[in-house]
Amino acid sequence: MTINELQDEIIEEFEAFDDWVERYQLLVEYGKELKNNPMPEADKTDTNKIDGCQSTVWITSRYENGILYFQGDADALLVQGIVALLLHVLSAHTPQEILTSELYFIDRIGLREHLSPTRSNGVAAMLKQIKLFALAYNR
């Protein structure tokens, strides 16, 4: 699936809920998906830590056959959900696809307006790091 198709899928899933309590619960469910592919404890280092996040967040990348894969984790349930959403959309794509993508799902599902300013800054920091990984592998 393309990045835009994945974003549209998430938007549709979130639009099924009118109540933000239910949407937060959906975010927590996404976060639980990180446990299906857990980040090794050895990767939870300061080097992989995302600066600018209120919670502790780690993201790593792996480049294989022209495709960039991400793995991540966080120490808070809601933030795990945000990490999982970002990785769901951006992992398993070429660096060029990641660099040229416009991530509109964050605004369309209303996430940005329902996050505290520090959490919004954290999302921006995660996206910046993912784009930096893509930039490093863009050939």
Which tens digit of pLDDT belongs to each residue from 14-59? 999 988 899 999 999 999 988 888 999 999 999 999 998 889 999 9
* Rounded Cα distance, 46 and 50, in Å: 8
Which residues belong to the active site? 53
Give the DSSP letter string of 39-64. PPGGG-SGGGB-TT-SS-EEEEEEEE
CA distance 83 to 6: 15
- For residue 84, pLDDT beyond 90: yes
pLDDT in tens, 85-117: 999 999 999 999 999 999 999 999 988 888 887
User: Per the structure block, which two tokens stand in for 50?
Assistant: 């995302």
> Which residue type, as a one-letter code, is found at position 51?
D
Residue ranges per structural domain of the chain: 3-137
3-137 — its CATH code?
Answer: 3.90.1010.10
Supply 72's token pair. Answer: 């991540």
Please, are residues 57 and 72 in contact by the beta-carbon 8 Å criterion?
yes
Overall residue count recorded for the chain in this entry: 139
Position 139 scores a pLDDT of 77
Cβ atoms within 10 Å of 60's Cβ, excluding its own: 18
How far apart are the two ends of the chain, measured CA to CA in Å? 22
